[in-house]
Amino acid sequence: MKLPQKREWIIKTWHDAGYTKILMLDDDLNFATRKNKRLPKSTDEELIAAFQRIEDKLSPEFPHVGLGQRQFNNHIAEVGWKIPGKMQCALGYYLPVVAKEVRWDLVLLRSDYCASLQLLLKGYANAVWTETVVEQARGFDAPGGCSIYRTDEMLDAEAERLAKVFTGYVAVVEKRYKGSGPRTEVRCEWEKALKAGRKKNSQYR
């Protein structure tokens, strides 16, 4: 199975088993906890506390909750909950909502973004904890995972595909990274999507 199918299987399997909350983590993560704009490695206690915050936050009000990214975290004036925000690598889901509302067959890549946008556009806010953050230990496109089938051509095509599915909320951009050169990426309008979702959904009026 490719990654979206795996995520769909996990959601369905644990929902059918009676669980209400799960946290899906990439297998190559480092965790850091903010201290005076520095980001030293998280202690066990800090990481447990961050996971507990996610568990406590997951609910019908916030059915998708995660940890922020290390990159640019030092530019945040005050850490805490960012609502809404980009969820990647650490994905907490409230299963009674997510199992019902999210489709996993819309894209092959960036299915985490796709899930967030679907929920936001239905009025469900997400929350991202920015005090404890994640980064991929081996960087982008390390051996294993999506790199088994992901190509540069697929990255470009899937960026366009996501933008087409979510017209007006996703833009395709080119970004340059040290060590890996330019790469096609997407820029998502999380706040715009949530505002549109809440305007459309009568329960938030």
Instruction: Report the CATH number at residue 91.
Output: 3.90.550
Distance CA 55, CA 136 (A): 22
Which residues span the domain enclosing 126? 3-204
pLDDT 10s digit of each residue in the chain, 205 long? Answer: 899 999 999 999 999 999 999 999 998 899 999 998 899 999 999 999 999 999 999 999 999 999 999 988 988 989 999 999 999 999 999 999 999 999 999 999 999 999 999 999 999 999 999 999 999 876 545 555 566 666 888 899 999 999 999 999 999 998 776 666 677 899 999 999 999 999 987 665 4
Cα(131)–Cα(139) distance, rounded to whole angstroms? 21
Count of structural domains, the chain: 1
Burial class (CB in 10 A: 0-12, 13-18, 19+), 56: exposed
In the block, residue with structure tokens 């715009």:
192
The reported pTM is: 0.90
